[in-house]
Amino acid sequence: MTTTVFSDIDWNKDGKQVGALFLPHSPDDDAWGVIPFPAASIRNGEGPVVVVSGAVHGDEYEGPVVIAELIRQIQGADVQGQLILLPSFNAPAQRAGRRTSPIDHLNLNRVFPGDDFGAPTQQIARYVTDHIFVRANYYLDLHAGGRTLFIQPSAHVVMAEAMDPALVRTNARLAEVFGVGITVQTSNMGDYRTAAGYTSMKGIPTLAAEMGMGGWVSGSSVQATRDATRRFLKHTGVLPRITTVPGQPTRWTRINGPAAYVFAPCDGYFERRFELGDAIGAGQLAGLMHQLTRPTLEPEPVYFQTAGTLYAHGLIGHVRAGQNLAVLIEDVAPP
């Protein structure tokens, strides 16, 4: 392994260690600096290795809040196996409050398995791939809608034709234990370079979740994330004595390919004609694209291609051609 990333955490050592991953970085104002990525390992004897990450996108906050809480509260004696916590997986983006890194402008959730000598975002992905995911028996990746998206709280399971049916069933059970109202089966339009996509393709039981929206963080969204995460960790066996509260039955859905997405047909100003959770019919009006720099032009109507439930939509009215405006889900049978 040729990574330049190093850590003050010994992943093979028992006990509680709180430290960081350090990525050497030499920008204009620092000859020999590093980018620190906070991390923790809590290990005690034999048992499952469970990895929990937050802030893969830097404008999503519920996961980091709950993971930081776990770092403060969980002690070695509470663990059976190893709990690896990555509260600031994309630390530069988190500091900037942005979806992507301000250093290299890359989306961490589109670069896996990464590159040891690529851009900083690719380097941290590769280190986690080779030094952390390789140990994992379970992976939980906590997301939220961030500052550009309204989205219904939900769990995500990656689905691909090549996946082992046993893994699909295991992931389905994780989603049921997680206990939020919607579970979405997704292929991410065939792009498996996400953290959850990579671990799923490697056969690691994996669950991702969208637990907030709008770039804010609220007491209710943190509590929902806290409760669901604790249920997940108890189910895996890594925190066998942690106190949990019951979840709710989950509605199984899927994003059924590209037709489930609505994209802006041109640059302009989008007037949406839907609300989160609406039942949508195929051919229904999604909204109007206004070209306000050319006020003599009539607005262009935008339509839904298929039927479903309005699962997520953008927050920003001023959009560019190709920008996502809305996403639909449809009900499916549980795996």
Structure tokens at 195: 């953290």
Cis ω before 113 (30° cut-off from 0): yes
Domain total in the chain: 2
Which CATH number characterizes residue 183's domain? Answer: 3.40.630.10
- Looking at 254, 275, 306, the residue that finishes a domain is 254
Which CATH number characterizes residue 279's domain? Answer: 2.40.50.100
- Judge if 215 and 274 occupy the same domain: no
For the stretch 177-230, pLDDT in tens is 999 999 999 887 777 899 999 999 999 999 999 999 999 999 999 999 999 999
Q: Degrees (nearest 5) of the Cα angle 125, 131, 134?
A: 95
pTM for the whole structure: 0.96
Q: Is residue 1 part of a domain?
A: no
pLDDT at 1: 59
Question: What pLDDT tens digit does each residue of the chain (335 aa) get?
Answer: 589 999 999 999 999 999 999 999 999 899 999 999 999 999 999 999 999 999 999 999 999 999 999 999 999 999 999 999 999 999 999 999 999 999 999 999 999 999 999 999 999 999 999 999 999 999 999 999 999 999 999 999 998 878 899 999 999 999 999 999 999 998 877 778 999 999 999 999 999 999 999 999 999 999 999 999 999 999 999 999 999 999 999 999 999 989 999 999 999 999 999 999 999 999 999 999 999 999 999 999 999 999 999 999 999 999 999 999 999 999 999 98
What is the identity of the amino acid at 242?
I
The string of DSSP codes covering 260-283 is GEEE-SSSEEEEE---TT-EE-TT
Distance (Å, whole) CA 41 – CA 243: 21
**Residues 6 or more apart in contact with residue 224 via CB below 8 angstroms:** 62, 153, 180, 211
pLDDT at 327: 98
- Looking at 254, 275, 298, the residue that finishes a domain is 254
Distance (Å, whole) CA 258 – CA 295: 32
CA-nearest of 269, 234, 252 to 334 is: 252
Residue 316 vs residues 23, 112, 149, 239, 267: alpha-carbon distances, Å: 34, 28, 8, 41, 12
Residue 254 β-bridge partners: 185, 330
CB 247 within 8 Å of CB 178: yes
CB 5 within 8 Å of CB 22: yes
pLDDT at 90: 97
CB 225 within 8 Å of CB 231: no
Q: Which domain holds residue 306?
A: 258-331
- Judge if 109 and 235 occupy the same domain: yes
Q: What is the DSSP letter of 16?
A: E
Q: Is residue 125 part of a domain?
A: yes
- Judge if 150 and 267 occupy the same domain: no
- Judge if 25 and 170 occupy the same domain: yes
312 burial via Cβ count (<10 Å: 0-12, 13-18, 19+):
buried
- Judge if 239 and 271 occupy the same domain: no
